[in-house]
A and B are shown apart, each in its own frame.
Chain A
Amino acid sequence: MQGFRNFADEFKRHKALFAMIAPAFILVLILQYLPMTGMVLAFKNYRYDQGVFGSAWNGIANFRYLFASGTGWLITRNTILYNLLNLITSQLLAVFIAIFITEINNMIFKKISQTVILLPYFISWVVVGVFVYSIFNYETGLINGLITKAGGDPVNFYGMPGAWPVIICLFNSWKWTGYNSVIYIAAIMGVDSAIHEAAAIDGANMFQRIRHITLPSIRPTLVTMILLQVGRILRGDFEMFYQIVGNNGQLYNATDVIDTYVFRSLLTNPDIGVTAAATFYQSVLCFAIIMIVNAIVKRIDADYALF
Chain B
Amino acid sequence: MANDKDLAVSAPKKIKLSASSKTFYVICYVCVGLMALICLIPFILLISGSFTSEQWIRFHGYGLIPGEFSVEAYNIIFKTPQRIVRAYGVSIMITVIGTICGLFLTTLTAYVIARKDFKYRNWFSFFFYFTTLFNGGMVSTYIYYIQYLHLKDSYLALILPSMFNVFYLLIMRTFVAAIPDALIESAKLDGAGEWRIFFTIILPLLKSGLATIGLFLALGYWNDWYNAMLYMNTETKYPLQYMLYSIQQQTQALASIASQAGISVQNLPSSSLKLAMAVVATGPIVILYPFVQKYFVAGITIGSVKG
A27-B105, A119-B43 known; A38-B149 Cβ under 8 A: no
Q: Is B248 an interface residue (CB 8 A)?
A: yes
Task: Report Cα–Cα, A206/B19, bound state, in Å.
Answer: 11
Minimal Cβ-Cβ distance residue in A for B52: A140
A1-25: which have CB < 8 Å to B? 6-7, 10, 14, 16-17, 20-21, 23-25
B136-181: which have CB < 8 Å to A? 136-145, 147-149, 160-161, 163-164, 169
Q: Is B69 an interface residue (CB 8 A)?
A: no
Task: Assess the B241–A124 pair: CB atoms within 8 A.
Answer: yes
Q: Is A74 an interface residue (CB 8 A)?
A: no
Task: Assess the B111–A186 pair: CB atoms within 8 A.
Answer: no
A122-B285, A123-B285 known; A100-B297 Cβ under 8 A: no
Cross-chain contact of B9 among A33, A131, A186, A203 (Cβ < 8 A): A203
Q: Which residues of A contact B304 (CB under 8 A)?
A: 183, 186-187, 221, 224-225
Cross-chain contact of B61 among A46, A127, A140, A276 (Cβ < 8 A): A140
Q: Which residues of A contact B127 (CB under 8 A)?
A: 25, 28
Task: Assess the A182–B112 pair: CB atoms within 8 A.
Answer: no
The smallest C-beta distance from B126 to any residue of chain A, in angstroms, reads 9
Number of A-B contacts (CB under 8 A): 293
Q: Which residues of A contact B61 (CB under 8 A)?
A: 139-142, 144-146, 148
Task: Report Cα–Cα, A135/B45, bound state, in Å.
Answer: 8
Task: Assess the B111–A20 pair: CB atoms within 8 A.
Answer: yes
Task: Assess the A97–B32 pair: CB atoms within 8 A.
Answer: yes
Interface of chain A, helix or strand or loop or mixed?
helix
Q: Is B1 an interface residue (CB 8 A)?
A: no
A100-B27, A113-B32, A123-B282 known; A140-B144 Cβ under 8 A: no
Task: Report Cα–Cα, A144/B63, bound state, in Å.
Answer: 10
Per-position 1/0 for A82-124, Cβ under 8 A of B: 0000000000010011001101101001001101111111111
Task: Report Cα–Cα, A48/B144, bound state, in Å.
Answer: 11
Minimal Cβ-Cβ distance residue in A for B112: A21
Task: Assess the B24–A103 pair: CB atoms within 8 A.
Answer: yes
Q: Which residues of A contact B222 (CB under 8 A)?
A: 124
Q: Is B97 an interface residue (CB 8 A)?
A: no
Task: Report Cα–Cα, A279/B7, bound state, in Å.
Answer: 59
Q: Which residues of A contact B164 (CB under 8 A)?
A: 24, 27-28, 31
The smallest C-beta distance from A95 to any residue of chain B, in angstroms, reads 12
Interface residues on A, range: 35 or more
Task: Report Cα–Cα, A117/B46, bound state, in Å.
Answer: 17
Task: Assess the B160–A27 pair: CB atoms within 8 A.
Answer: yes
Task: Assess the B139–A276 pair: CB atoms within 8 A.
Answer: yes
Most buried by A among B20, B128, B144, B296: B144
Give the contact stretch, choosing among A65-73, A160-168, A173-181: A173-181
Cross-chain contact of B112 among A20, A103, A276 (Cβ < 8 A): A20
Task: Assess the B195–A126 pair: CB atoms within 8 A.
Answer: no
Q: Which residues of B contact A177 (CB under 8 A)?
A: 35, 39
Task: Assess the A14–B118 pair: CB atoms within 8 A.
Answer: yes
Q: Is A39 an interface residue (CB 8 A)?
A: yes
Q: Is B198 an interface residue (CB 8 A)?
A: yes
Q: Which residues of B contact A206 (CB under 8 A)?
A: 21, 24
Q: Which residues of A contact B274 (CB under 8 A)?
A: 130, 133-134
Task: Report Cα–Cα, A140/B252, bound state, in Å.
Answer: 12
Q: Which residues of A contact B25 (CB under 8 A)?
A: 103-104
Interface of chain B, helix or strand or loop or mixed?
helix
Q: Is A191 an interface residue (CB 8 A)?
A: no
A97-B31, A266-B142, A283-B136 known; A224-B306 Cβ under 8 A: yes
B18-69: which have CB < 8 Å to A? 18, 20-21, 24-25, 27-29, 31-33, 35-36, 38-40, 42-43, 45-46, 49, 57-58, 60-64
Minimal Cβ-Cβ distance residue in A for B243: A126
Minimal Cβ-Cβ distance residue in A for B141: A35
Task: Assess the B138–A279 pair: CB atoms within 8 A.
Answer: yes
Task: Assess the A208–B124 pair: CB atoms within 8 A.
Answer: no
The smallest C-beta distance from B125 to any residue of chain A, in angstroms, reads 10
Per-position 1/0 for A218-234, Cβ under 8 A of B: 00010011000001000
Minimal Cβ-Cβ distance residue in B for A132: B42
A35-B144, A224-B306 known; A140-B58 Cβ under 8 A: yes
Q: List 10 A-B contacts (CB under 8 A).
A: A10-B119, A124-B281, A149-B60, A182-B297, A203-B7, A243-B245, A272-B139, A276-B140, A278-B139, A286-B134
Residues in A lying within 8 Å of B, measured CB to CB: 6-7, 10, 14, 16-17, 20-21, 23-25, 27-28, 30-39, 41, 46, 48, 51-52, 93, 96-97, 100-101, 103-104, 106, 109, 112-113, 115-131, 133-135, 139-142, 144-146, 148-149, 174, 177-179, 182-183, 186-187, 203-208, 221, 224-225, 231, 238-239, 243, 259, 262-263, 266, 272, 275-276, 278-280, 282-283, 286-287, 290-291, 306-307
Additional pairs, 8, CB under 8 Å, beyond known A124-B241, A126-B244: A20-B112, A34-B144, A36-B136, A126-B248, A134-B46, A142-B45, A239-B226, A262-B138
